[in-house]
């Protein structure tokens, strides 16, 4: 039976350490502060923004939320980002995704100062990620790598499959895992034969957003299974993995909730502190 990759516990461990770093900064008069721009009234986004705020407060980081209406124009969001870019007290700027359809997210990403890009999603930081010379890392991929490190899961030479090619998870995670010498296949909705890749994979990361997508019959005995999915089924939060059956076949598995989610939030805080330190020459 698979062992649990306890994201919640690891997030707490890392947060306690980070809190000490923040304490030292604060003693020297440096207050880590980042801004989250949330456009519209997506209930999930509102929940995430609040979760982040609670976590930030626990660590001693200030989070300012800019809640904008659903019909906000792209131009107005760009102007807000420019204002935050110019504010020396602000060390991080991020846009909660998804954004309403009148907003071209790429235009927003092009506007965020790469030195304040806590989400690691600006073109230059995404580019650096692929060039193997990066400073910030997108939160979810960063948390997943931290989890592999903590539990001693070796990536070198392993066949890894990532299901889902989003800018916030699949693509940056592919970059980070290949940097650790895994052979990465990035699967997506047009992949002809996903079963072919899955049955050979030593490591499976599912970020597709489809409940019960990964069942026990699809994976290799002893695979490491990481579930990034967030699905609500009959009022219950579940991932993409059929947890109960897959855990019998996997060597390691993340639960949902309590797996990747808490690590995502904690990793974002790590990036805020990283950028705060760098901006202050530390
Ligand atoms: N620019 C941007 N950056 C993001 O990092 C980002 C985003 N947009 N948009 C949405 C996704 C999703 N996301 C999560 C954060 C926390 C939990 C989390 O804490 N989950 C808890 C459970 C929470 C619950 O009970 O609903 C858990 O899995 O244990 C999950 C998912 C960040 N995202």
Q: Is 124 annotated as a binding residue?
A: no
Q: How far apart are CA 140 and CA 94, in angstroms?
A: 14
CA of 202 from ligand 1 middle (Å) equals: 26
Tell me the domain boundaries of the chain: 31-113, 139-261
Q: Is 45 annotated as a binding residue?
A: no
ipTM of the complex: 0.95
- Ligand 1 pocket check: which of 230, 232, 238 to mutate, most ligand atoms within 8 Å of Cβ? 230
* CATH T-level topology, domain 31-113: Rossmann fold (3.40.50)
CA of 113 from ligand 1 middle (Å) equals: 23
Identical fold, 31-113 and 139-261: yes
Q: 139-261 maps to which CATH number?
A: 3.40.50.720
Which ligand 1 atom sits closest to the C-alpha of 258?
29
* Residues catalogued as catalytic: 52, 96, 119
Residues 6 or more apart from 81 whose CB is under 8 A from it? 37, 93, 95, 108, 111, 112
Which ligand 1 atom sits closest to the C-alpha of 121?
1
Per-residue exposure over 252-266, b if at least 16 CB sit within 10 Å of its own CB, e if not: bbbbbebbbbbbbbb
pLDDT in tens, the chain (282 residues): 899 999 999 999 999 999 999 999 999 999 999 999 999 999 999 999 999 999 999 999 999 999 999 999 999 999 999 999 999 999 999 999 999 999 999 999 999 999 999 999 999 999 999 999 999 999 999 999 999 999 999 999 999 999 999 999 999 999 999 999 999 999 999 999 999 999 999 999 999 999 999 999 999 999 999 999 999 999 999 999 999 999 999 999 999 999 999 999 999 999 999 999 999 999
Pairing outcome for strands 224-227 and 236-238: unpaired
Q: Is 278 annotated as a binding residue?
A: no
């Amino acid at each position: 039976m698979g062992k649990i990759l306890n994201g919640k516990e690891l997030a707490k461990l890392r947060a306690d350490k980070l809190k000490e770093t923040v304490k030292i900064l604060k003693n020297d008069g440096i207050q880590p502060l980042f801004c989250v721009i949330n456009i519209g009234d997506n209930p999930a986004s509102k929940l995430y923004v609040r979760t982040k705020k609670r976590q930030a407060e626990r660590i001693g980081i200030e989070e300012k939320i800019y809640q904008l209406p659903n019909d906000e124009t792209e131009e107005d969001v760009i102007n807000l980002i420019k204002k935050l870019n110019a504010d020396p007290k602000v060390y991080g700027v991020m846009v909660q995704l998804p954004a309403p359809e009148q907003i071209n997210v790429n235009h927003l990403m092009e506007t965020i100062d790469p030195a304040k890009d806590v989400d690691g999603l600006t073109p230059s930081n995404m580019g650096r990620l692929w060039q193997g010379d990066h400073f910030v890392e997108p939160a979810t991929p960063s948390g997943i790598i931290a989890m592999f490190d903590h539990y001693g899961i070796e990536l070198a030479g392993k066949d890894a499959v990532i299901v889902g090619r989003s800018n916030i998870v699949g693509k940056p995670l592919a970059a980070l895992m290949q940097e650790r010498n895994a052979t990465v296949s990035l699967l997506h909705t047009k992949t002809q034969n996903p079963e072919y890749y899955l049955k050979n994979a030593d490591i499976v990361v599912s970020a597709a957003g489809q409940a019960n997508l990964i069942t026990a019959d699809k994976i290799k005995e002893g695979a490491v299974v990481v579930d990034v999915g967030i699905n609500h089924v009959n009022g219950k939060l579940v991932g993409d993995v059929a947890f109960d059956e897959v855990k019998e076949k996997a060597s390691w598995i993340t639960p949902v909730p309590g797996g990747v989610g808490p690590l995502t939030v904690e990793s974002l805080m790590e990036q805020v502190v990283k950028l705060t330190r760098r901006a202050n020459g530390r």
